[in-house]
Structure 1
Amino acid sequence: MKYFGTLILLITYTSLSAKAKPLLMMYRDYHAVADTDTVKPIRKSSASVGVTYGTDALFFGRTGPIKYPFMSTDVVINSKPGFFVYGSALKVLGYKPLVDEIDVGGGYYYRASKTYTGTISYTRFIFNKEANIIKSASSNDINWKNTFDWKLFKTSFTADYLFGKSDDIFTTVTASKYYESKFSIFNDQDFLSINPAISMILGTQNFVQRYADDHNRKLEFYNIIDKLARARDNSRFNALNYSFKLPLAYNTPHYTLEASWKYSIPVNVEGMLQNRKESFFNFTFYYVFY
């Protein structure tokens, strides 16, 4: 009940009246697992390839001690029955490893009714031993996302269980509203779309402690104090982050260009990292083959 009022505000904020059309495209935001914007498959056979540039690596509402701008590539393959597989590779710009991270995974997309859809997926994270991003403290994620379409807006409730070097659980609540332009830009098949969303992440943050242990020498700069007390705090289930995301996209039947701004407000920062409010910018191109 502690966070029920916040959830109501999230949903109320996005309750705007407009008729939205379904997205023509499917793509995987690189921080899909991190922000629980999980793989978004469509119910037909298809494949997509995407490239993303981001100004900083964000993981369940937490960032590293310095900014890590990155480039990533993603591939998603969907089958008509609803099964999908995907893979991605990430390079942190300005640092030594040629590839910092490779992700592979798969799952199942289901539609229980006209208003209720969901995905269940598993992702394996493989990191270069020199990787510095905070995500490197985890190696496996089981994700279950449930989306409800209320016509006026959508809500999603996502559960994540991460295990490997550290174990964590997360719940993410998101409310979003999709708008699509009624006019075309260059031909009668393209359009603009905007999908503002607000999210709340709750969970544990043992991965922060593990990251600090793995990068102790690098983090001595950033005020590491009272290690044992911090470790106890990290195991508590608390609100971790509130965020607002504003993606603007140019869409065609086969490809999309998207620019996305996200404002992140970390709360209950109990770990070794001094996270503060931050803006993130992502630029993505993805192409779908039917």
Structure 2
Amino acid sequence: MKTIWTRIGLSVLPLLLVAFSARAGMDEAADSTKTGWWVVGMEASNNSSFYGRNTANRYPYIAPSVSYIHRTGIWASVSVHQLFNTEDYIDQLDMTLGYSFKIRKRLEVDLAYSHFSFGENTPLVNASTTDALLAKAAYDWKYVYTAFTGSYILGSGNDVFTVLENSRYIPLNPLWQGLLPVGLDPKVSITAGTQRFSETHTTTTRKKAATGNGSSGSGPVGGILDPLKPGGGSNNPSQGPDEEVTTTTTTNVSRFRVLNYELKVPVVVYYGNFEFEPSWRYAIPVNKLEGDESRAQSFYTLSVKYTF
């Protein structure tokens, strides 16, 4: 098992190489018009989750990332999740290509496609997924910032998730007239999505019992013309009571339900090209299926980004 410092070193080194090479290439170009921005980031958390679902064991992780944002709105990113309590060097690799644009001054839309790869022994809840299509619309109401995200997840089973989020950035600088931009960005969100489970149905039907001689009717045309059975044998007293036949079927069912309620309180600090964001998040999973070990808990996360 690798130590935290080994994981951090292996994660930071490629990011630094990418950042320095990209910066060198931009300096050599000496173009007065900036066409895009690079963002190098690192995120660390005390546990992992997927749309409000988590495992019984905690899996702290670090997630280095590199993104490029073009001025046209096209962007691409690569991120790596490395769990502290596993043997795999890479537990999850995400590659995303997206496009952001504004419809109105306060309405922004984001479209993206992601591909996921997982380590052989990863315990992550979302390890069965392979790809995802995402569409996000965000509107600034001046006092509240509302974002609605819809995701179509591909994998062993195709699922749909939606996240409704309301937030508002609150600058704290006026409180003490600090030089560094500092603020709070509290968010309240509701996650809903499809759930797959099995439903069992039992059906009971009645079946006519056989007659005393072991047949339901003899002679031509099932005994209808049998002279020994007036009326076709319908009133034969030797006929036993009806039999009950029970049939049980099990089918896979998918339902769309609320999955999670969440409160997140990030502190955002800007220092030059750096952005620091320590945050506390409390998630409450609901409508859990049998065997789901998710529970309400707190998540502590630190995110650092450098933009150039």
Amino acid at match of 1:140: D
Maintained 8 Å contact 2:73/2:100: yes
Q: Which has the higher strand share?
A: 2
Q: How much has 1:253 moved relative to structure 2?
A: 3.4
Q: What is the alpha-carbon distance in structure 2 between the residues aligned to residue 87 and residue 243 of structure 1? A: 26
The structure 2 residue matched to 1:283, chosen from 302, 305, 308, is: 302
Q: What is the alpha-carbon distance in structure 1 between the residues aligned to residue 58 and residue 181 of structure 2? A: 33
The structure 1 residue matched to 2:80, chosen from 69, 74, 89, is: 89
CA 1:119/1:164 → structure 2, altered by over 3 Å: closer, same or farther?
same
Question: 1:162-173 to 2 correspondence within 5 Å?
Answer: 162-173=153-164
Maintained 8 Å contact 1:250/1:258: yes
Identical counterparts, % of pairs? 26
Q: Show CA shifts across 1:184-211 (max 9, x none).
A: 99984x21111000000111134x99xx
Q: What is the alpha-carbon distance in structure 2 between the residues aligned to residue 256 and residue 185 of structure 1? A: 20
Q: Show CA shifts across 1:107-141 (max 9, x none).
A: 10011111100100001011011111111121111
Q: How many residues of Structure 1 are paired with residues of Structure 2 in the alignment?
A: 225
Match of 2:193 in 1: 203
SS in 1 for 2:126: helix
Match of 1:51 in 2: 42
Higher relative contact order (CA 8 A, sep 6+): 1
Q: What is the alpha-carbon distance in structure 1 between the residues aligned to residue 124 and residue 258 of structure 2? A: 22
Q: Does 1:252 align with 2:271?
A: yes
Maintained 8 Å contact 2:54/2:295: no
Q: What is the alpha-carbon distance in structure 1 between the residues aligned to residue 178 and residue 137 of structure 2? A: 35
Q: How much has 1:232 moved relative to structure 2?
A: 4.3
Q: How much has 1:183 moved relative to structure 2?
A: 4.8
Match of 1:222 in 2: none
Q: Show CA shifts across 1:237-285 (max 9, x none).
A: 0000000000012112310111111000100001522211111110111
SS in 2 for 1:135: coil
Q: What is the alpha-carbon distance in structure 1 between the residues aligned to residue 127 and residue 73 of structure 2? A: 30
Q: What is the alpha-carbon distance in structure 2 between the residues aligned to residue 204 and residue 158 of structure 1? A: 15
Q: What is the alpha-carbon distance in structure 1 between the residues aligned to residue 190 and residue 143 of structure 2? A: 20
Maintained 8 Å contact 1:44/1:82: no
Match of 1:130 in 2: 121
Q: What is the alpha-carbon distance in structure 2 between the residues aligned to residue 174 and residue 163 of structure 1? A: 23
SS in 2 for 1:50: strand
Match of 2:98 in 1: 107
SS in 2 for 1:204: strand
Maintained 8 Å contact 1:193/1:251: no
Q: What is the alpha-carbon distance in structure 2 between the residues aligned to residue 199 and residue 103 of structure 1? A: 23
CA 1:120/1:272 → structure 2, altered by over 3 Å: closer, same or farther?
same
Q: TM-score, normalised by structure 2?
A: 0.69
Q: Does 1:143 align with 2:134?
A: yes
Maintained 8 Å contact 2:86/2:121: no
Match of 1:267 in 2: 286
Q: TM-score, normalised by structure 1?
A: 0.73
Maintained 8 Å contact 1:185/1:191: no
Match of 1:80 in 2: 71
Query: Alignment RMSD, CA only?
Result: 2.3
Q: How much has 1:65 moved relative to structure 2?
A: 2.6
Maintained 8 Å contact 1:250/1:257: yes
CA 1:187/1:279 → structure 2, altered by over 3 Å: closer, same or farther?
closer
Q: What is the alpha-carbon distance in structure 1 between the residues aligned to residue 146 and residue 175 of structure 2? A: 28
